[in-house]
Structure 1
Amino acid sequence: MTTAVVRALGALAHEAAHARTGPRCACPAPAVLADRADGTVVRCGSVVAKAHAAGTDTVALSARLALAAGPGLADVLLGPLPVPPTGDLAGRGAASPYLTELLGRPVTLWPYGEPVDPGDPDEAPWEATAVLLARLHRTGIGHAVPGQPPGPPAVPAMRPPVMDIPAAPVMDVPAAPAMRGPAKAALAVARMRAARPGEPVTAPVLAAWSGLPPWARDETPAPAHRVRALCHGDLHLGQLVRHPAPHGPWLLIDVDDTGAGDPAWDLARPAAWYAAGLLPPEVWFRFLAAYRTAGGPAVRADGDPWPELDVAARALTVQTAALALAKSAAEDRAPDEVEQVMIDACARIAALPPELTAEHSS
């Protein structure tokens, strides 16, 4: 059943597509790419319209849109499109030329990009992803980011000194809040507890959760020595597209969680998948090598990366397993095969001797 939000997004995307391609209409019917409470996405021709979650902080979103639209990260982030200032939409995007509101939800427009083919995992662009992350993480954060002290950007240079890597730009990110990986993990655990109160199946997930340091559970601030960088905040292969479609360079999409934070959390998903056995070792090592070669600051230049990645990877494993249990409870089904792998990984994490994880927890 087509919802009012989907119809409104289709009409907006159609209007924007015509503003870009001229008045002759050869558009196919709008296609729904996603329809969830946290994001409804509709495509019409060359334009994609996205309704963000109700209650989204539009001041922060406006800052993130300005970041993506600027020239400094044009080779990393897909930039938004201006909202057409016509008809019913005139004046609604006053806070940002890239933001409007439909049916109580903030709405943005984007050029269509060709996504990763889920049916061809061998062609997944892991190396390209690593390079994009490294470029993003190497962007120096100016003091306009809340929580970032005045002065030089606090992003340690951990890249190999022998590499010929261009100097990273320094950018102010006005009003863009910090990316909070621990907060997202804590929210996932809370959702699991609410969906499955006291159920034995949650025990390994909660045990792995309790073994994390307090800062990774969003209970205390992160240690001051952790690297701080401009982060994507929700990295997975669904966040990459080729633009211009279908053969342009890979770019990152979805800046809803972009902000200052610990870049290890952007690497946490592939690291967790590797540790759980979902990502083949050869793919993980290619990803890690590409990130290091591009000067990514999240891990040391060579040697064992786990001192930097261990906590974030464990937390992401818990987050994924907790969301899987919450979702499967809501759908009245058992966890699927991949979900069960992450739940089982939590059991293995919980069984680790404390001394094996203590050195990575600070």
Structure 2
Amino acid sequence: MALRDLFKRRGGTGTPVLNTPGVGVAVSGIASPWSDAQLSGLVWSDIFGEEHRPVTRADALRVPSVAAARNRVIEKLAGRPLVDYTATGRTASQPLWIERTDNTLAVSPWHRMAATLDDLMFYGWSLWAVQRASDGNVTQALHIPFERWSAEADGTILFDGEEAPADQVVLIPGPHEGILTCAADTIRAGLDLERAWRSRARNPAPNIILEEREDNGMTVEEATPYVKAVAAARRNPDGAVMFTPYKINARIEGNSGESFLESARNAIRIDVAAYFDLTAQSIEASKAQSTLTYETAETAEAQATDRMAFWSEPIEHRLSLDDVVPRGHRIRFNFHAADNALTGTPTED
């Protein structure tokens, strides 16, 4: 299967994305750039148990702090235009591929960069497919969904299991191996906390422990109906009042569980912010009182923007190599164009 088949022309019309000849084939469906392949995870959990199953992007995004950190990076970077510079400044004629994607898949530059950032955050690597002119310069660039490609030990890129032409792909490494690897334990802890939180919501505090008044050894089977009845009564709108028989004592434990869960969830947020190289405040986490310093909202926002270099610079420097732009050129994000569209008259950085 040729790599160009990933970007088939709709109804046989339009320009093929990759520069090898071929007959257009109608698009029957478009795989989401965010999709997670679940089959391998299901097989893994069947063999080794759910506890040892590798975490997926879908798992990670069920942890609110991970979703907040990911969304913060996407918000700050996906919409920032790329700009081509030389030693004398911004080039007069900017490469078309940095500000538009002429393809029938309707993948905008915003979605291309968002998907690229997603790959780097979760997996540590991202891959683009490129089209080149006769002089070798890149004229088109599209993101390849992460589940469609892999790499051999010698660096050979495989697309759908077959070797991809080296001049038609650009491999972009991230700043680390991805949070699914380096933050796997934190993600699992976050999922555990979310389950505990839901459990507390289904059975609101205070905790109730049912104790026997009589020393006649109630079995688990005998005790289960009482436990279920009390749990159901607490979820009832009138659950503040319930009846227990004389032989059962309902002991109230108080509200300490909520305090622990709130503190634990905040701790997870701080840890996730560290993995994403973000400030705790940028994902609504609270630092310990002893570490707090006075800062305005503008200062916190500036700090969050400064930290985006952790994610933007690996992309900038990879796209500045000679296999993407001519020697002496460099690609940079324009952080002063937050309100500018990706098309139209560009503004100076």
TM-score between the two structures when normalised by the length of structure 2: 0.23
| Greater Cα radius of gyration, structure 1 or 2 | 2
TM-score between the two structures when normalised by the length of structure 1: 0.22
